[in-house]
Chains A and B, each alone.
Chain A
Amino acid sequence: MSTKSYAQKDFVQINIDKYSCSVIKLKDLIINKIRQEFDVMHLVVKIVLEKNISVEIIDDLIDFEGLLKLSSVEHEIEFDLHENSKLFYTCKLKPQLSLEYNQAILQELGDSSSKLTKRLIFNLTGSNAHAKIRIRSLAISSQIFKFQTLQNHLHSDTFSCLCLKNVLFDSAKVECNNSIKVNKDACKSFANQVNRNLIIGENAHVISSPQLEIENEDVKCKHGAVTKVIDEEQFFYLQNRGIDAVSAKQLLVKGFLS
């Protein structure tokens, strides 16, 4: 995956070397580091997890003041995972919507034609480094989401697991470009990647291109990509039990994203 070069002022590096708190919100983490003139539209963050650190990072960068209203947002986050470090990365785009999905909220956000690109790089540089990546998104109207991820295994005995789920309403478009790269020295690596897309909108469009590049024989790598529609039988089952069509759909979307 090509990395764009950014001006130094737009770049933030954070080293996590002490076990401070197990759940960290990314916004809190970088809020002190960025200056006034910082370009929040094109954020480049590098996070280094030192030895034996285990953290859960919640990516809430999208909550930055007014960011949602902007037309195009691009974030690049690179993680370096050292020996024995464990990372649980979660990124939920409009999770509140997915939980209480209803027309009122939809209409409120209906105008946003925002384009969001997330570039995530996970460098597993030390043995026994674990990365668990969870991304959920719900795209509406004519939103365009691009997820470019790279699980870069640079050391032996590393583990990474990506689960990316998208729900597409209206004429939303989601592009998933997910790579797994296992380098020559990274034996006994385990890499897994799951991409599931649920298409609901009439004009929704999914492009999914998972990639595997394996240069070592002693590995276990898998990827799976599934794109489907709401299961008729499940839908029927719920309606059968007295749940109206709208709620049933909401329930199924919620279940899909959970």
Chain B
Amino acid sequence: MIEDNKNYAFKSELGLNEKIVREISAQKQEPEWMLEIRLNALKYFVDSEMPKWGPDLSVLDPQNIFYYVKQTEKVERSWSDVPEDVKQTFEHLGLPQAEKQYLAGLGAQYESETVYHNLKKEWAEKGVIFLDTDSALKEFPEIFKEYFGTVVPYNDNKFAALNTAVWSGGSFIYVPPKVHVTVPLQAYFRINAERVGQFERTLIIADQDSIVTYVEGCTAPAYSTSALHSAVVEIIAKPSSRVRYYTIQNWSKNVFNLVTKRAVAYKNSVIEWIDGNLGSNVTMKYPAVVLKEEGAKAEVLSIAIASSHEQVQDTGAKMIHLASNTSSRVISKSISRNGGRSSYRGLIKVIKGAKHCKSFVQCDALIFDKKSRSDAYPTMNLADNTVNCAHEASVSKIDDDQLFYLTSRGIDANSARTMIVNGFVEPFVKELPMEFAVEINRLIELEMEGSVG
């Protein structure tokens, strides 16, 4: 656990009401239209019911959470300006080295406000905007207003409404036409104070023929009271663009991680979600792609590890085919152990008139013990007669034959199991960029510790 002094520039009172929403908006000196959206969203959040499906959320008390905590007054540009205690925490996460070696830009979210942002000059010159969402609203209000809430409207679901009402921080990326961002843009998020919800809002717009990769990683120290993380991510992929979104969440085991992630893919664009879920108490996350125009492609590659008692990883993917010749692929891997529960919940929808759509869904689950549970709830709703759609899922324990094979070749049982698990997650790990692959391997190793025997 990482300890540090809590010096906050501003911290809202406990709970949620109109006053707090107005206060957040005023603190950020936002335009009137944004406040209006926030208030509408708040009303929807209060009026709507908790989801009746999926994991039990009754423990979650929205009135027992701090909705806005501000760490430092202004957004910093260079590392040396970042406050010492923030730096210390990031030191633990190994950020500066990573940035030196691999990263084009770095937006690090500490509590609810982005404190550090740096975009390498060459990208800035090409017109790439990589900012924290609050600054983007101030600096590029037109682009912001045009796209904000178009993919995930405030009344999409209860938690999207909550996010829209109290959002703070997150990343804003705009890539101009024909610009290829070859190095991943990266932001680290973390919850650091007790009972702090994080409600970051990420908006990625890839203009025509552009390519961009965004990496979001989450780590959070362990705390005992329930914290809530409810992010909204919106991606707009204009014709022939390509967006790759990596995220690994490793929230502490008391965090409710209820996020809405959705992308819209226009003609011939490609969207890839690569999604790792290791931490949190309850995660509900279903990255979605709306394939809106012809030739669009989407892929979701995800891994979920539920490794402690009552941990629930309820993850999946949604693919909505609205145009002809669109294709989608979902590969989901999950591991349940120590009383954890992992579920795949997905949807493939092909509307009538969307011709020659292809979709493939594969879910593989490993289950380690009798206390754990593994579920799959895929749904396919196909209304066209030229569709080609396949789904397969399997659940099993580590194969005794494989184990026997390895042990008979002189490998001890522990290493053999680790090898088999590594082989199981390999299709996911091999898609990750180098530094991320190392990180996830280490995290999986940590998660799997003590699982053998």
Q: Which A positions have Cβ atoms within 8 angstroms of B?
A: 184, 187, 197, 199-229
23 contacts between A and B (CB under 8 A): A197-B382, A199-B382, A199-B384, A199-B385, A199-B387, A209-B377, A212-B375, A214-B395, A216-B367, A217-B372, A218-B397, A219-B367, A223-B392, A223-B393, A224-B393, A225-B378, A225-B389, A225-B392, A227-B380, A227-B382, A228-B389, A229-B387, A229-B388
When C-beta atoms are compared, the residue in chain A nearest to B398 turns out to be A217
Distance between Cα atoms of A214 and B372 in the complex (Å)? 8
When C-beta atoms are compared, the residue in chain A nearest to B399 turns out to be A220
User: Which residues of B sit under 8 angstroms from A207, Cβ to Cβ?
Assistant: 379-382
User: Which residues of A sit under 8 angstroms from B374, Cβ to Cβ?
Assistant: 212, 214
Distance between Cα atoms of A206 and B383 in the complex (Å)? 6
Contact, CB under 8 Å: A208 / B370: no
Q: Which of B367, B380, B385 is in CB contact (< 8 Å) with A225?
A: B380
Binary contact track B349-392/A, C-beta < 8 Å → 1, others 0:
00010000000000001011110111111111111111111111
Distance between Cα atoms of A151 and B9 in the complex (Å)? 58
- Extra contacts, 5 of them, besides A215-B373, A216-B370, A224-B390 (Cβ < 8 A), are A199-B384, A206-B383, A208-B379, A214-B365, A225-B390
User: Which residues of A sit under 8 angstroms from B365, Cβ to Cβ?
Assistant: 212, 214
Q: Does B394 contact A (CB under 8 A)?
A: yes
Contact, CB under 8 Å: B373 / A213: yes
Interface of B: prevailing SS: strand
Q: Which of A201, A217, A221, A227 is in CB contact (< 8 Å) with B394?
A: A221
Distance between B278 CB and nearest chain A CB, rounded to angstroms: 20
User: Which residues of B sit under 8 angstroms from A227, Cβ to Cβ?
Assistant: 380, 382, 387-390
Distance between Cα atoms of A218 and B389 in the complex (Å)? 30
Contact, CB under 8 Å: A210 / B387: no
Q: Does B7 contact A (CB under 8 A)?
A: no
Distance between Cα atoms of A215 and B377 in the complex (Å)? 15
| Contact A226 B389, CB 8 Å, known A217-B369, A217-B372, A219-B367 | yes
Q: Does B396 contact A (CB under 8 A)?
A: yes
Q: Which of A203, A222, A229 is in CB contact (< 8 Å) with B392?
A: A222
Distance between Cα atoms of A205 and B393 in the complex (Å)? 22
Distance between A225 CB and nearest chain B CB, rounded to angstroms: 4
Interface size class of B (residues with CB under 8 A): 20 to 34
Contact, CB under 8 Å: B393 / A212: yes
When C-beta atoms are compared, the residue in chain A nearest to B344 turns out to be A212
Distance between B374 CB and nearest chain A CB, rounded to angstroms: 5
User: Which residues of A sit under 8 angstroms from B373, Cβ to Cβ?
Assistant: 213-215
Q: Count the A-B residue pairs with Cβ separation under 8 angstroms: how many? A: 116
Contact, CB under 8 Å: B391 / A212: no
Contact, CB under 8 Å: A219 / B377: no
Q: Which of A205, A211, A220 is in CB contact (< 8 Å) with B375?
A: A211
Contact, CB under 8 Å: B390 / A229: no
User: Which residues of B sit under 8 angstroms from A201, Cβ to Cβ?
Assistant: 385
Distance between B322 CB and nearest chain A CB, rounded to angstroms: 16
Contact, CB under 8 Å: B387 / A228: yes
Q: Which of A200, A213, A215 is in CB contact (< 8 Å) with B385?
A: A200
| Contact A217 B393, CB 8 Å, known A211-B377, A227-B387, A229-B385 | no
User: Which residues of B sit under 8 angstroms from A220, Cβ to Cβ?
Assistant: 394-396
Best-surrounded residue of A202, A207, A211 (most CB of chain B within 10 A): A211
Distance between A27 CB and nearest chain B CB, rounded to angstroms: 33
Best-surrounded residue of B382, B387, B394 (most CB of chain A within 10 A): B382
Distance between A186 CB and nearest chain B CB, rounded to angstroms: 10
Distance between Cα atoms of A228 and B357 in the complex (Å)? 10
Distance between B365 CB and nearest chain A CB, rounded to angstroms: 7
Contact, CB under 8 Å: B391 / A217: no
User: Which residues of B sit under 8 angstroms from A203, Cβ to Cβ?
Assistant: 352, 385
When C-beta atoms are compared, the residue in chain B nearest to A215 turns out to be B373
**8 closest A-B pairs by CB:** A209-B379, A212-B376, A224-B392, A225-B391, A208-B380, A217-B367, A222-B394, A221-B395
Distance between Cα atoms of A256 and B369 in the complex (Å)? 39
Distance between Cα atoms of A197 and B381 in the complex (Å)? 12
Distance between Cα atoms of A221 and B375 in the complex (Å)? 11
Distance between Cα atoms of A187 and B352 in the complex (Å)? 43
Binary contact track B298-315/A, C-beta < 8 Å → 1, others 0:
000000000000000000
Distance between B403 CB and nearest chain A CB, rounded to angstroms: 13
User: Which residues of A sit under 8 angstroms from B381, Cβ to Cβ?
Assistant: 205-207
Contact, CB under 8 Å: A222 / B385: no
When C-beta atoms are compared, the residue in chain B nearest to A197 turns out to be B382
Distance between Cα atoms of A210 and B96 in the complex (Å)? 47
Distance between A143 CB and nearest chain B CB, rounded to angstroms: 16
| Contact A209 B375, CB 8 Å, known A214-B365, A214-B367, A222-B392 | no
Distance between Cα atoms of A213 and B388 in the complex (Å)? 26
When C-beta atoms are compared, the residue in chain A nearest to B356 turns out to be A229
Distance between Cα atoms of A205 and B381 in the complex (Å)? 8
Contact, CB under 8 Å: B390 / A209: no
User: Which residues of A sit under 8 angstroms from B376, Cβ to Cβ?
Assistant: 210-212, 223
Contact, CB under 8 Å: A206 / B395: no
Distance between Cα atoms of A213 and B387 in the complex (Å)? 28
When C-beta atoms are compared, the residue in chain A nearest to B374 turns out to be A214
Contact, CB under 8 Å: A205 / B378: no
Distance between Cα atoms of A225 and B381 in the complex (Å)? 12
User: Which residues of A sit under 8 angstroms from B385, Cβ to Cβ?
Assistant: 199-204, 229
User: Which residues of B sit under 8 angstroms from A219, Cβ to Cβ?
Assistant: 367, 395-397
Distance between Cα atoms of A220 and B387 in the complex (Å)? 30
Distance between Cα atoms of A228 and B392 in the complex (Å)? 14
When C-beta atoms are compared, the residue in chain B nearest to A196 turns out to be B390
Distance between B388 CB and nearest chain A CB, rounded to angstroms: 5
Distance between Cα atoms of A201 and B390 in the complex (Å)? 19
